Structure 1
Amino acid sequence: MSSVNVTIQELTRTVDPGLRPAARGAGGAPSATASSTCTPDLAKSPWNFDGGSPAYGPGASMGDTAPADTPRQGGIPEEYRLATDAELDARIRAAKETLGDRLVVLGHFYQRDEVVQYADFVGDSFQLANAALTKPDAEYIVFCGVHFMAETADILSRGDQAVVLPNLAAGCSMADMADESSVEECWEQLMELYAEEDDDGRAPVIPVTYMNCSAALKAFVGRHGGIVCTSSNASTVLEWAFERGRRVLFFPDQHLGRNTAKAMGVPLEAMPMWNPRRPLGGNSAEALQEAQVILWHGFCSVHKRFTVGQIEGARAEYPGCRVIVHPECPMEVVDAADAAGSTDFIRKAVAAATEPTTFAIGTEVNMVNRLAAEYPQHTIFCLDPVICPCSTMYRIHPGYLAWVLEELVAGRIVNRITVDAVTAVDAKTALERMLAARP
């Protein structure tokens, strides 16, 4: 678990991602002003957006349509909304001290610094779910991330541990792009199409879901012989799936699926896109029969913002800079970069640089800022000059964290995330297959 044992004592800079440019290293980097943020609403507290119609809030996903059943956060007491930063800081630290080993706080790489400073572990979603398992005395797991991450933590935790999400409105637009009913309908159409194929001992199609999905979809792949992947092990998981099936149905992120399969030698023409609003996903029966990977029509709104033009601009201003992007970026961006990999891959690449280096990074700005603060010997900046953080990660605020922690001190559990037993069993099966699929 050494990859997630990064505490806030190692992170020395606080940045408001909605109001400042990406952090700069020793050599400086392109800057953005407050007026160039994606929306001035980022300066407002998240409770301004809670309780209304379903929406993801300001940030990269603000243009995405939220499903009607998107979780919403009810109001919290006025004392938390009106408290100063110093007051919230004192209350959070006091509550953590009172709860002691009964509590573990998890903070995702993309979380804002004014929240992640209270985290006992910082990492990606699956690292954090496993990090909680290293605290067996913890009764409460407070996950400063988004909804699907808290679900995964609940699936992997003991039944007597409570997982808490400080703001229920912290969802994920990508995860919502593949809902259970749409995936079930897709599966039925594919099973009917492939029913007449010769039986060669392999399944006609193996479902593979990215970690960034609901527990219901993890359970779906568990029931149908499929598997979960992360951005760091997607190629290993696809190899596992191809050993067992003729094709892969990959959801919800088309870009991770396409970039991973392309790197493994799968031709683009063998990767049709499935649009859930059209019969056969908008494809011909012949295209689906010839397919090797069927890609779901989903994406991350943060990583979709990165462009080849941004890379060209970075190279022009900083000749010799090293460009690293996340594999959720579009294919042409990954192809133009020097390297692509998970959040942990990006972090390790920066840490491994022995000489002062200029890094242009294509991932969520909070993580880029944190790397720049942690490695001031390098010049580190975000490829996207318009600072636009993850909308839903931004919904977590110190006010919500103080509220849920003080409720725990009072013996009340609020915002608990639970996955029903049947769903949890099937989802855990898919997760365990992932853990067993080693390079």
Structure 2
Amino acid sequence: MPVVVGLGVRGVFSIIQEVWQTMPSLCLRALREFLNILQGQSPAGLRSEPKETTDALFELLMKMVVEPVPPDNELAADLSSVACGCLLSLVVALGDTGKMLTAVSSLITAPHHLTQNTLQIPQIFYSLQDSVKAVLLGCVTVADWFEKGVPAKSFVEEWTISVPLEEGGEREEEGGRGGAAVACDGRFLYIHGSFGLAKVGSGYGNTQRGLVYKMEPFRPREKAWLGLAEGKLFYYPLGQGEDSVLVINADTLQEETSLDLDVDCLGSQCLFSDGECIGQIKVKKEGGCVLRKFATLSSPMLVVEEKALQLSQKTVLVMGKAKYDSQESIHTLYQDTSDQVVRVMASRNSVAVQTTSGKLLYTGSGAVFGITSKDVSKGEWKEVALPDKNVKVEHCACDNAGTFCLVVSDKGTVYFGGVNKKGEAGEAGDLWRQI
């Protein structure tokens, strides 16, 4: 059977070789199928395949890359691009160093007809990249940003964009806003700010890094979101509750059409794009968030997928200076994945959290709970003990001065606690008083 399959595959290659210049549409379909198969392989995964079969495919692809398709054919660019993708995927899947060097050198010294083509990176290159990272780091698995977050020192480089200063400065003085929305298609950066909408080269895909190729004063006073999906540039104004997304022509930077969103856009939300669909993350009134994906082919843009989102963990962040915490910048105060925060209460010299297990913890001064012992230092938490050890805290409230508090248990009991001070809170000898 392998011999018969090999003969059939070589027969297909010979047919493509004979008609790829006269019937490019047929060859394009065949090459796309080959590309899907090749880019799904692992690096060096085809090393043990019959040499006569892989050599025939390699020679065919090399010929299609080097020899131009008749320029009057509208599929010439697509055919050359897909052939390049197949060639690169094949040499990586074969793991043959000689063929890799031959393929790369042929692309570098390629004839003029390839210089304007756009080549999509095959998926097998991402597998190769992960393999190289694993070898360099000495571990099998490589942590990505989704699992471990973005590294604190991930900054690589920066460059200046030559936006006309007089235009940007004038609009800022008239009430413009800072910040910008950015989207990238791999070649160009699309930036919307107080200057309008700009198309800037990224340095890739035969573009000059930082060069403004096109600029239009498109809604310069709006704060907006930009996204790319299905080759279209989308614009959405923020903070106005708009229920439609604008489609922008990527060449002229002018509005082409408007697509309605098939959902309510009022309230807290954010849009995103995965390259194929427009997505929305929206806070629900009853709590939690919902993730939606919209198809971009019609108006209104119908919801093709919807999922409810729940926070995997909750973290208490604080900023400002306090007696129990001198760090003024925003930072983490409490984080415990096993017992997460339900409610936060803050007073003058302390902060308390109520957890999902019904505990009441505090850091700083315990005077608000009638505890006169030494303050709890930064980074440590101490549990507040109630008279009944078998109850759970259902709710708690503290006064701003940090002198007394009210605690409601899951049994409906209300406790009043605090420091004795001129009879304002509690009674002598009792830490807690039941109301």
Under a length normalisation based on structure 2, what TM-score does the superposition of the two structures give? 0.24
**Structure with higher helix content:** 1
Higher relative contact order by CA 8 Å / sep ≥ 6: 1 or 2? 1
Greater gyration radius: 2
Under a length normalisation based on structure 1, what TM-score does the superposition of the two structures give? 0.23
